[in-house]
Structure 1
Amino acid sequence: MSGPCDIDAVVFDYGGVLTTPVSHSIASWLAREEIDPASFSGALRAWLSRSAPEGTPIHRLETGEIGVEEFDRLLAAQLVRYDGRPVDPVGVLGRLFADLRPDEEVYRLVDELRDAGIRVAMLSNSWGSTYPRPRIDELFDPLVISSEVGLRKPHAAIFRLTVERLRLPPERVLMLDDAEPNVEGARAAGLQALLHTDAASTRARLARLLPGLSPTSPARPARPATDLSVRRPQI
């Protein structure tokens, strides 16, 4: 996608796209609780890597087959603290995502796309962390959250559901995601897709595809955020 193309809608991932990087929040949590990062990385490889079998605890969490409390218990059992004490299983995911913050530069981009007549949607794999629901309800239509629909990225079915709810051909929809397997999954389902690393580079790449979009963020505030204390489980 090196030149302008037809895009009627942009679909945003949540964690790591509309928020600060998930990896930063995870690193802070591991350091605070003195957890050996290798134990967390090992659980991720076993449960989320490309080679992971279907039906891992992460897959079942994302599709809503198990709840947050059960997943917290399963994850805590995989973690090792430097001092040998067990990790408290109550509220593990809440602590893991505690340092996530909205990326206001990305929200500014959302506002500009809406102002330009481009539809915006959100597609997220829920890990039971928190969504600023009033804010995203106002901005995105549709909202597709994996645990609510029983499907998960990178499987084609959840991308097909999203474009069906948009009532658009998949080739006219662009997915923004910070996970390469999800970008590949979107493309395999017929969508256009970009790998998000930061707000500035995503804006610059979108500006090459959407004539009229500024390649740099204008000096204006994003729409006021609704009270983020009203939250609902999310990535």
Structure 2
Amino acid sequence: MTWIVFDYGEVIAQRPSARAFARLAEVAGAPAAEFEDGYWRFRDKFDRGMAALDYWQAVGGQAGFEVGPAQADALTAADVELWNTLDPRSVALVTELAASGRQLALLSNAPIAHGTAFRAREWAGSFRHFVISGELGLAKPDPAIWEALVDRLGSPAGEVLFLDDREVNVTAAQEFGIRAFLWTGPDDARRHIAEFDREFFPATGY
């Protein structure tokens, strides 16, 4: 059984705009530039399971504002929504693939709260598995995350196609044996999927 695995941020969801980051900084009551610097400085730890309060306090320490539990909850909820602007072309591709019976999974470097939110979204029904870095305590491009992925799918690495917007993740997946490609948009993804299918499926289709 073959699998098609999608990244989330900047693949299914669009990258938040500078204005969106500024609105999140307003929730914190912090200067936008300092807030965004702290947001990214500690993001890898958040993506690997760092507690939300610890993360936002680290961001606050960088940007010069204090964070308590209630504000951390508010910032986490706002951050989930920050990454909830979907690319309709990507969603259309996912929906099309699911409707045709393809086995789809999501592999995302994302905090625990984001993984919970993903599963409640309307588009989530297209995916059979969600592999979320924050839930595992490890993240792309760690070698262990590819092992976790194929274990979850129950499939050999060579029967998995993975689409991600970061070259470092694509390279790491390829080194593990996964058929990985850099995401440049749905049209290019369709080409990679068609090439992948020709190896595993007869001309009559999957």
1:154 maps to which residue?
Answer: 141
Partner AA of 2:36 in structure 1: F
**Given that residues 15 and 21 in structure 1 are in contact (C-alpha distance below 8 angstroms), is that contact kept between their aligned partners in structure 2?**
yes
1:10 is paired with a residue whose SS is: strand
1:50 maps to which residue?
Answer: none
Stretches of structure 2 that go unaligned for 5 or more consecutive residues are 199-206
- How far apart are the structure 2 equivalents of 1:97 and 1:149? 19
1:175 is paired with a residue whose SS is: strand
Are the structure 2 counterparts of residues 79 and 38 from structure 1 closer, same or farther at C-alpha, using a change threshold of 3 Å? closer
**Aligned residue runs from structure 1 range 176-215, under 5 A:** 176-210=163-197
1:51 maps to which residue?
Answer: none
**Aligned residue runs from structure 1 range 131-146, under 5 A:** 131-134=117-120, 135=122, 137-146=124-133
- How far apart are the structure 1 equivalents of 2:188 and 2:76? 29
Q: Which of 98, 101, 108 lines up with 2:81 in the alignment?
A: 98
1:62 maps to which residue?
Answer: 47
Is 1:28 aligned with 2:28? no
- How far apart are the structure 1 equivalents of 2:9 and 2:85? 9
Are the structure 2 counterparts of residues 79 and 204 from structure 1 closer, same or farther at C-alpha, using a change threshold of 3 Å? farther
1:14 maps to which residue?
Answer: 8
**Given that residues 79 and 87 in structure 1 are in contact (C-alpha distance below 8 angstroms), is that contact kept between their aligned partners in structure 2?**
no
- How far apart are the structure 1 equivalents of 2:48 and 2:95? 29
Higher share in helix: 2
Are the structure 2 counterparts of residues 152 and 136 from structure 1 closer, same or farther at C-alpha, using a change threshold of 3 Å? farther
- How far apart are the structure 2 equivalents of 1:62 and 1:42? 14
- How far apart are the structure 2 equivalents of 1:193 and 1:41? 30
2:157 maps to which residue?
Answer: 170
Give TM-score, length-normalised by structure 1. 0.65
2:57 maps to which residue?
Answer: 73
- How far apart are the structure 2 equivalents of 1:189 and 1:143? 19
- How far apart are the structure 1 equivalents of 2:186 and 2:149? 23
Partner AA of 1:13 in structure 2: D
What root-mean-square deviation, in Å, do the aligned CA atoms of Structure 1 and Structure 2 show? 2.9
Are the structure 2 counterparts of residues 120 and 188 from structure 1 closer, same or farther at C-alpha, using a change threshold of 3 Å? same
Partner AA of 1:182 in structure 2: N
Partner AA of 1:131 in structure 2: A
